[in-house]
Structure 1
């Protein structure tokens, strides 16, 4: 743990643990939940160890007899421990006593949700700021303050490094491996999803190749609102034995239980009445590296547009979709830390679209466009200006995220920020 890189969620834990008896870190495998939680624990129950799991099942109240803080790692493998922790919280509230980590929703759900006793936080793959790609100079929290934050900074990070960051992933144990080893690890990660995680979630995959094809088609739909019908059609192009709707919906449900899907919901304004807004979510896997690997795209293929064998859900540049996915991952991490939520906006006929909407609890927003370009032209901010005209002071700020070198504010007030310079 000497090389531990502090995560954005560490600041959340610093704020929350002194006031909470039990906290659960949830997210996909390999995002670093165990390492982050273990740094704060004096006692650990590793439930992916069958022996420890059996011992705890035989004597659940051992969690009260050991030195706190107590980490219960991979709690979903023994769902009953959730209710044990909840009852322990009811008996005695001691700040920072329990940390639970989970990589999947348990098949057998606990009897009680834990509401009011156990607070859940989602942990995601590493953002660009956590990867130490460049020192951030623009804070999302400041943008959400709505005080016309100063926008400045310069970076040498360019398109090729963003492509490299996409394929390296935000999984801390994978991203720094040699390229061939990293690809093998990502392949193993995907293989585990199909061969082990689905059965462990109670879903037997009769045709693994069909699930893999559907995953690749979903990856090709990254950052789009493509219908599930079109995703299925892309996955089974030329085939006659297509899986039924129930099967493909089961794919989606299990992947969501594994925290591997993080669709961005459509924005539904609270105070401003828009008409003809789309309601479909934008599709995203937990890490754009998984999408790139499913599509057989390395950094070179992304840069020259030759990702082989990619199912087509829509025309477009795959690198643009995955760059938006990388920015979306960053904003998910930073927005959670700022107690905000991420959405997107698209009118039904597509005449207006804003890539990402970061919404505060009071429903005021920061609007974000993502551009795979170094320069921002007037045509790139048309939809941001339209939105500003529509909602007035409810728009706290408007930003274009680019691959360029400079952060600055345009004469029209719209901020231009390289992805590498955006931080929490």
Structure 2
């Protein structure tokens, strides 16, 4: 496509196609999975094409190999509506004995998972796509590379072009590819349309169980108010029952959240467990996040002006946006993003851990000298707690900020990096 915006996962997809017979691209609806796959696919099967959907499903049940013919890599879009295709693809990969044969895309884990007889180990590899980062959407200048921070440079530089109003807009618009090309009003409506689709239908398709849409709204609103928290099901339950005439138990809450995970609306952040000099107990609960901050905005029914009038809420949702971007960038480096918190209350917003054992400690602050100093204090305190006789020292300490004119390295070695300067 002439207007295709390059994505961080483009190179990851190319690498994975060289390594395995089939690549499974997963992620939320509207994040660009099919569009990205189309850039490299040589033939395409759209399983949910309206006038062919029923025929495709029947053929997948009767003679799936008929659907797999075509130039390779062959893209099978929304494969999960016919789960039997999984085993057919696995078999075809075995028979052909070549890499890069198929790309499978979908927005949900298939309900009929019992129809899948084989795990696909050795034949499939997975790639997670998320909504666009600020670097991909063009709001970040990309003058500071996350990868290069792992080399502990003595100097970094970059000019931040995002002010408070633009940050509020980016949070509310989100990283939906279609929204990037739209005017402001239309762009801001995309997250609300996404939210409506989740509430009215998508969450039910995740596990085949019909759910109370008003209860889903209350759950998503509670989830939105508690971004970045280690939120217990009991807390969400109490939020829901405050305005619910029916009894709600923790099992119901868990089942709703599990459904949201299956359709990639929420993505919890696991706890990081380093070797410490002290015996401080580490909290192991996951931290709650939406995959994109705009989902929280829609769940709360607010907009950019509301965020500008409530900087505390803006700070929470800014953190969600930064976590989204850090996940995108870390994934391209073969890394993952974790959260740290111990029983003393010491925490670190994001720990970027690479496969080679290298890691960076990151605090996320909307801006302001006081918050930056608090973040620096936390980073140093955690770095001092780590037992470097049993694991590596942190490659870098950084504070990702929303406001601030420049990216720079402080005298104490901590990097100050505006999110508007960061890339993978």
Whether TM exceeds 0.5 here: the answer is yes
Alignment partners' CA distance in 2, 1:2 and 1:169: 23
Per the alignment, do residues 36 and 272 of structure 1 end up closer, same or farther by CA in structure 2, a change over 3 Å counting? farther
Post-superposition shift, 1:239? 4.4
In 1: Cα distance, 2:117 partner to 2:188 partner:
40
The reply on whether 1:3 has 2:3 as its aligned counterpart is yes
Match of 2:358 among 364, 383, 387: 364
Per-residue deviation, 1:151? 1.5
1:331 has 2:326 as partner:
yes
1:308 is matched with none
Residues 273 and 122 from structure 1, CA distance in 2 versus in 1: closer, same or farther, beyond 3 angstroms? farther
Structure 1 pair 138/35, CA: closer, same or farther in 2 (3 Å)? same
Q: Say yes or no: does 1:348 pair with 2:352.
A: no
Asked if 2 retains the 8 angstrom alpha-carbon contact of 1:363 and 1:394, the reply is: no
1:103 to 101, 107, 117: 107
Contact 2:337 2:353 in 1 (8 A): yes
Task: Name 1:386's counterpart in structure 2.
Answer: 381
CA apart distance, 1:371: 0.8
Tell me how far 1:196 sits from its aligned partner: 1.8
Matches within 5 A, 1:390-409: 390-391=385-386, 392=388, 393-403=392-402, 404-409=404-409
Contact 1:342–1:359, Cα closer than 8 Å, also in 2:
yes
| 1:148–1:397 CA contact under 8 A, matched in 2 | no
Instruction: Note the C-alpha offset of 1:374.
Output: 4.7
**Distance verdict in 2 for CA 1:268–1:2, change over 3 Å:** same
Measure how far apart 1:174 and its partner are: 2.8
Deviates more, 1:152-161 or 1:408-417: 152-161
**3-state SS of 1:269 partner:** coil
Rate the CA distance shift 1:150–1:274 in 2: closer, same or farther, 3 A.
farther
Q: Which residue of 2 aligns with 1:71?
A: 75
Measured at CA, do residues 149 and 337 of structure 1 come closer, stay the same or move farther in structure 2, by a change above 3 Å? farther
Alignment of 1:275-290 (within 5 A): 275-290=280-295
1:119-164 C-alpha deviation (Å, 9 max, x unpaired)? 01100000011011132111111223x3436311112212211111
Which is further off, 331-340 or 193-202? 193-202
Distance in 2 separating the partners of 1:79 and 1:377:
49
Counterpart Cα distance in 2 of 1:411 and 1:22: 48
Q: Structure 1 CA distance, aligned partners of 2:193 and 2:348?
A: 36
For residue 25 of structure 2, give the secondary structure of its aligned residue in structure 1: strand
- How many Å separate the matches in 2 of 1:149 and 1:89? 48
TM-score w.r.t. structure 1 length?
0.92
Alignment of 1:240-255 (within 5 A): 241-255=246-260
Name stretches of at least 5 consecutive residues in structure 2 with no aligned partner.
none
Q: Is the 8 A contact 2:108 2:262 kept in 1?
A: yes
Cα distance, 1:273–1:203 mapped onto 2, change above 3 Å: farther
Pairs within 5 Å for 1:24-63: 24-49=24-49, 50=53, 51-63=55-67
Q: Aligned ranges for residues 252-267 of structure 1 at < 5 Å? A: 252-267=257-272
Q: How far apart, in 1, do the equivalents of 2:94 and 2:108 lie? A: 25
- 1:125 aligned onto 2:120: no
Contact 2:19 2:100 in 1 (8 A): yes
Structure 1 residue 242: Cα displacement: 3.5
| Contact 1:45–1:52 (Cα < 8 Å) also in 2 | no
Which shows bigger deviation, 153-162 or 11-20? 11-20
RMSD: 1.9
Asked if the contact 1:168–1:176 (Cα under 8 Å) also holds between the matched residues in 2, the reply is no
Q: Deviations over 1:239-292 (max 9, x none)?
A: 453412221111011111111111111111258675211112111111110101
Task: Name the CA distance, whole Å, in 2 between partners of 1:209 and 1:395.
Answer: 45
Secondary structure at the aligned position of 1:317 is classed as: helix
Matches within 5 A, 1:212-231: 212-231=217-236
TM-score, structure 2 as length reference: 0.92
Q: Could you list the per-position Cα deviations for residues 214-246 of structure 1 after superposition, in whole angstroms to 9, with x for gaps in the alignment?
A: 111111111111222112222332545341222
- Structure 2 Cα separation of the partners of residues 180 and 147 of structure 1: 42
Q: How many residues align?
A: 412
Where do 5+ consecutive residues of structure 1 fail to align?
306-315
Summarize the Cα distance change of 1:149–1:360 in structure 2 as closer, same or farther, 3 Å threshold: farther
Q: Secondary structure at the match of 2:90?
A: helix
